[in-house]
Amino acid sequence: MTAMIEHSGGAQRDQPDAGAGSAYRRTDVLTQHAVEQFLYAEAQLLDEHRYVEWIELFADDVHYWAPTRMTRTHRERDREISDVHQSAYIDDDLQYLKGRVRRLTSGVAWSEEPPSRTRRLITNVRITPREDGELAVTSNFYVYRSRLERHEDWCVGERFDVLRPVDLDATGYPYVVADRRIVLEQTTLLMPSLSILL
């Protein structure tokens, strides 16, 4: 992982109120374009419930993870978001992520049958190329959900992705997601379930 990813998550800081230097990031325009279009395409597949295509965007060794979070004091805020050994809402490998797709397409997954209607806004896409050729990408998301007659809720947060370049002509997409950490802003989720994918 790059320094950016570690620091943005609230891990150790050298000084309590300092981050990892300048927050400014710049990438070449083509990479920025490709990454943004990839993330928008992924959002479209989810909004259109095209889960069988969506699952193809993930690497065999993916860790797809949404840790829990709590309210802590400023002094103890490095312990606000759970680490890999602590609680998570989602802690999947590819095998279980495929299981979620089987469930969502089964016709008997009652929390998504009839399915929720979602609209995803992906913004603030920022890229740090890594030495191994993969890209560390952070983005903000706002996922609005409308369900059944009049239920609505929304998930807002930040995603920390690692994108691995693949053959665009062979797969139709320039990357696969090799790692994803989803950090939600709420500590008590104001929703009956996280039955949608993020």
Partner 1 sequence: MTPPVNELVDADRGYINPLVFTDQGVYEQELEQVFGRSWLFLAHGSQVPKRGDFIQTYMGEDPVLVVRQKDGSVKAFLNQCRHRGMRICRSDQGTSRTFTCSYHGWAYDLEGNLVNVPQEERAYRNEIDKSKWGALKVPRIAEYKGFYFGTWSADVPEFEDYLGDMAYYFDAVFGRWDNGVELVEGTSKWVIDCNWKFASEQFASDMYHAEVSHASALIALHEDPAFWAGTSHQTLMPGRQFGGNGHGSGSFWADSIGFSESMYNSPALSEWVTANADEALRNVSEQQLLKVAGHNTIFPNFSWLAGPATMRVWHPRGPGQIEVWAWTYVPKDAPDEVKAAYRRMTQRTFSPAGSFETDDGENWTEIQQVLRGWKARNNTFNAQMGLGHDERDVHGLPGRTSDALSESAARGFYQRWSDLMAGLSWSDIAELDAARQAKEALHQEVQEA
In angstroms, how far is CA 39 from the centroid of its own chain? 10
Complex with partner 1: residue 60 or 76, whichever CB lies closer: 76
Candidate residues 46, 90, 122, 178; the one interacting with partner 1 per rule CB under 8 A:
90
Q: State whether the Cα torsion 152-158-164-166 is positive or negative.
A: positive
Which of 182, 186, 156 is closest to 71 using CA atoms?
A: 186
State the nearest-atom distance from the C-beta of 193 to partner 1, in Å: 4
Task: Provide the β-strand partners of residue 137.
Answer: 127, 161
State the nearest-atom distance from the C-beta of 89 to partner 1, in Å: 5
Q: How far apart are CA 181 and CA 197, in angstroms?
A: 13
DSSP class of residue 112 equals G
Q: Is 187 in the site for partner 1 (CB under 8 A)?
A: yes
Complex with partner 1: residue 15 or 188, whichever CB lies closer: 188
Would you tell me which residues interact with partner 1 (CB under 8 A)? 66-68, 70-73, 76, 82, 85-92, 95-96, 98-100, 102-103, 106, 108-112, 148-149, 151, 187-195
